[in-house]
């Protein structure tokens, strides 16, 4: 793997690891389960609807997150860059469901990748590492659920107002 100190520095910037980033032993154990993976510009990293078992951290480069409409067309949800200390696919570490979006490399890019099995093994052997990460994933999911609920209420209110008029 490339310079481990640089990779370790990147891991410390990721919010999922906030609670353990100052523990050198934990971070070294975490580093050991990540692999570096390269994708060329335009290459698909994750495909919406497929089952996945990896989480990706954008180490160098960038990605485009795409969603499919009911008509089958794709639209860009967001573009993410390595400088923003972003990751995607974190839900695959805790469930076996289908991917919710397609992700493509917007340029030649490198990713730090952790497989679900490796995450679970590490978490079982070192719950003091796995639990804080899992807690942070739960916080992310709870935030998304709250936003979805708020968005649905906004749509419901708009429909009710439209019917009344």
In a 3-state reduction of DSSP, which class is residue 71?
coil
**Number of domains within the chain:** 1
Per-residue pLDDT, averaged over 49-60, amounts to 95
Per-residue pLDDT, averaged over 32-40, amounts to 97
Range of the domain at 114: 4-164
pLDDT at residue 160, as a whole number:
78
pTM, rounded to two decimals: 0.86
Lowest mean pLDDT among 52-61, 86-95, 147-156: 147-156
pLDDT at residue 1, as a whole number:
54
Residue 59 contacts residue 82 (beta carbons within 8 Å): yes
In a 3-state reduction of DSSP, which class is residue 106?
coil
pLDDT at residue 113, as a whole number:
98
CATH of the domain at 103: 2.60.120.10
Spatial separation of the C-alpha atoms in residues 88 and 136, rounded to whole Å: 13
């Amino acid at each position: 793997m490339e310079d481990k100190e640089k990779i370790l520095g990147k891991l410390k910037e990721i919010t999922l690891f906030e609670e353990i980033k100052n523990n050198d032993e934990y971070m070294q154990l975490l580093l050991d389960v990540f692999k570096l993976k390269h994708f060329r510009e335009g290459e698909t990293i994750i495909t919406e609807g497929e089952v996945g078992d990896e989480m990706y951290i954008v180490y160098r480069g960038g990605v485009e997150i795409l969603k499919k409409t009911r008509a089958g067309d794709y639209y860009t949800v967001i573009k993410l860059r390595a400088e923003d200390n972003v990751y995607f696919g974190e839900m695959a570490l805790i469930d076996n469901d289908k991917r919710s979006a397609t992700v493509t490399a917007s340029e030649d890019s490198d990713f730090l990748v952790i497989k679900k099995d490796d995450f679970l093994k590490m978490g079982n052997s070192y719950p003091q590492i796995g639990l804080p990460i899992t807690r942070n994933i739960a916080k992310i999911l709870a935030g998304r659920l709250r936003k979805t609920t708020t968005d649905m209420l906004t749509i419901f209110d708009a429909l009710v107002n439209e019917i009344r008029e």
